[in-house]
Structure 1
Amino acid sequence: MSTSLVLQAGRRRYRGWVLPVAAIALWWLASHQGWSQSGLFVSPEKVLATGWEQIASGKFWRAISASLARNLSGFVIGTTLGLVLGCLLGLSRYFERLVGPSFNTFKQISLFAWIPLISVWFGLGDVAKVVFLSLAALVPVVVNTCDGLRNVPPSLLEVARVYGFSRRQTIMGVMLPAALPSIFTGLYLALVYSWLATIGAEYLLVSGEGIGNTLIDGSEHFMMDLVLFGMLVIGLVGWALNALARTLERRMQRLYGIAPR
């Protein structure tokens, strides 16, 4: 690769840092120039000091491990059920007629509308939060898996018919590989939605530890440095999960010879 191409790739890679760096610089300038006299306006140094205190005391590690454990549990349960239900809806017309109308009604209900029922049925602990996260991951996986299987090009199915493929061979060798880009999209959305739902669940179902509870503690005690630290952690974890999902998607695409989206 030529030097010019390397430089261009480097510029594109770091272009996304322009806005965050500019925002932090403006924040630092505003705090040091005294643009706000509010006691709730804290400096970046104060947020960093609070963050270091949270890390050194072990509070941060307990909170982030609890949040990630809930997120992983809900994601695995929701995506597993979503893949099974999506395949059944996409492959069986009878199952689609039987369950499809009910699922289409279910997916129109706002996720947070389930909070009162979940809290009554499962309490306010980790079980309730995992159920909530599973619902957040379920819907995008079902929808994208079903759509991917339904939208397999007819030409591929015709080739399978000409070669005398059995039903199982057609599904495993033709339909599922063709539907993988859509399935990947569902898994990616499930990963994003489950992390967002993790914070929402911890904020609304306040029992236990987690990053959402860190935000609650900060707001209740008017510690904006703790609130901002929690928000930064949430954003960084979301960015890391997004990068992980994109990396896994690209590797799976290369493995199955699928053109990147």
Structure 2
Amino acid sequence: MSELSLEKSEIRINSSLDKSIKVLQALILPIAFIALWVVASALNWLDPKLIPSPFTVLLGALHSFAQAEFWQGFAASLARNFTGYVIGASLGVAFGVALGTTRWVNWLFAPGFNVLRQVSLFAWLPLISTFLGYGNGAKILFISLSVFYPVALHSLEGVSSISAKYSEVARVYQFPKLYTYRKLILPAASPQIFVGLQLGLIFAWLATVGSEFLLANYGVGLGNLVIRGREQFNVSLIILGMLTIGFVGVILNSILSRIERKVLRWQQRS
């Protein structure tokens, strides 16, 4: 076996070891929490009516998983999250790039954008519900708004950080605008854009659950599941909803991180 093959296999082994160590590090806190929960329940340190044992929560989870209503709520939350995220992220990237590359867009919209992004996200909910009610459209609009601001801001920062030398090269060689955006601006700004997309994904999931809490008069979702558990004083259902919300958030973030590594692989090689 050549030295190059040995070096490549060693790199793969080290990479897999690093991934295994990271997984173990991520599991330390949840495992410690569950172990403490089990011990506290077994020693009657906790009131089972307020905080049921892990076994009780597991039985409740199995019962909920067997019901179609749980999966309908799960699918509804994911659909709202995905729709709102795609709309907000697409508009955020387009607006941020336009703000950083077009003078008249910056002159016209930058002051208003800087003012509106200071407004708390949940302050928009009364206005949205006044005009759109408590339906799915209001929730999707709220999710889109929560994604739009961080994505637009980081896209603007990414474009603004591009060296003037590259813009000068494009100007000297008279690159077409579409070619300049595709080959120069977007690749150079992509690391910051992905930072915004990561933050937008976190905010989108928070907004999805938050809108289901605060606009709960209509529809189904994981937020509605937790609310129903509160109304029925079913703590197992509340904990199941919380764990499911957290688990989905981790999975969504992991998927976007994988996409980011593949898209930005050219940077790691350079």
Supply the distance in 1 between the matched residues of 2:18 and 2:104 (Cα, whole angstroms): 53
Rounded Cα–Cα distance in structure 1 between residues aligned with 2:158 and 2:22: 32
Q: Cα distance, 1:8 vs. partner?
A: 5.4
Distance 1:11 1:166, change over 3 A: closer
Runs of 4+ in 1 over 4 A off after TM superposition: 6-9
- Tell me which residue corresponds to 2:137: 127
**Alignment partner of 1:72 is 2:88:** no
Q: Is the 8 A contact 2:194 2:260 kept in 1?
A: yes
Secondary structure of 2:162's partner? coil
| Matched letter for residue 218 of structure 1 | G
How do 1:63-142 and structure 2 match up within 5 A? 63-142=73-152
8 Å Cα contact 1:40/1:223 also seen in 2: no
* Alpha-carbon separation, structure 2, partners of 1:100 and 1:4: 49
Shift of 1:185: 1.3
* In structure 1, distance between residues paired with 2:155 and 2:22: 32
Note if 1:174 corresponds to 2:184. Answer: yes
CA deviation after TM superposition for structure 1 residue 148, in Å? 1.0
**Mapping of 1:12-27 within 5 angstroms?**
12-27=22-37
Q: Distance in 1 between matches of 2:178 and 2:86?
A: 26
C-alpha distance after superposition, 1:133-176 (max 9, x if no partner): 01011111111111111110123223334444344433332122
Q: Does 1:187 align with 2:202?
A: no
Deviations 1:38-91 (CA, angstroms, capped at 9, x unpaired): 521200011111111111012220110010011011111111221221122111
Structure 2: state its 5+ residue gaps. Answer: 1-8
SS at match of 1:258: helix
- Matched with 2:243 is 232
User: What SS does the corresponding residue of 1:37 show, helix, strand or coil?
Assistant: coil
Question: 2:41–2:48: 8 Å Cα contact kept in structure 1?
Answer: no
The answer on whether the counterparts of 2:52 and 2:235 sit within 8 Å (CA) in structure 1 is: yes
Contact 2:83/2:140 (8 A) holds in 1: yes
Partner residue, 1:246: 257
Instruction: Supply the distance in 1 between the matched residues of 2:39 and 2:17 (Cα, whole angstroms).
Output: 31
Segment of structure 1 superposing worse, 113-122 or 55-64: 55-64
Q: Percent identity?
A: 41
Partners of 1:8 and 1:247 in 2: CA distance: 16
1:55 and 2:65 are equivalent in the alignment: yes
Residues paired across the two proteins, number: 258
What RMSD in Å do the two structures reach over aligned CA positions? 1.8
- CA distance in structure 1 between the partners assigned to 2:176 and 2:86 by the alignment: 31
